[in-house]
Amino acid sequence: MTVTGILPAKQGRAPAASRSDQADDLAAALRARVAGEVRFDPGSRALYATDLSIYRQPPIGVVIPKTMADVEYTVEECRNRGVPILGRGCGTSLAGQTCNVAVVVDFSKYLNRLTALDPERRTAEIEPGIIRDDLDGAAGRHHLTFAPDPATHQYCTVGGMIGNNSCGVHSVMAGKTVDNVEELEILTYDGLRMRVGATSDAELEIGRAHV
Ligand SMILES: Cc1cc2nc3c(=O)[nH]c(=O)nc-3n(C[C@H](O)[C@H](O)[C@H](O)COP(=O)(O)OP(=O)(O)OC[C@H]3O[C@@H](n4cnc5c(N)ncnc54)[C@H](O)[C@@H]3O)c2cc1C
User: Ligand 1 pocket test: which of 67, 164, 177 has the largest number of ligand atoms within 8 Å of its C-beta?
Assistant: 164
Distance, in Å, from the CA atom of 194 to the CA atom of 152, rounded to the nearest integer, reads 30
* Residue count (the chain): 211
Looking at CATH, the fold of the domain delimited by 16-106 is given as 3.30.43
- pTM score of the predicted model: 0.91
How much is the pLDDT for 13? 57
Write the pLDDT tens digit of every residue in 40-74.
999 999 999 999 999 999 999 999 999 999 999 99
User: One-letter amino acid identity for 175?
Assistant: G
Per-residue pLDDT, 10: 55
Neighbours of 195 (CB within 10 A): 8
Indicate which residue's Cα is closest to atom 4 of ligand 1. 151
Query: Is the confidence at residue 6, as pLDDT, over 90?
Result: no
Instruction: Give residue 11's pLDDT.
Output: 54
Q: Is the pLDDT of residue 12 over 60?
A: no
Residues at CB less than 6 angstroms from ligand 1: 51-52, 86-94, 97-98, 107, 128, 150-152, 156-157, 159-161, 163-164, 166-168
Domain ranges of the chain: 16-106, 124-183
pLDDT classification of 20: cutoffs 50, 70, 90: confident
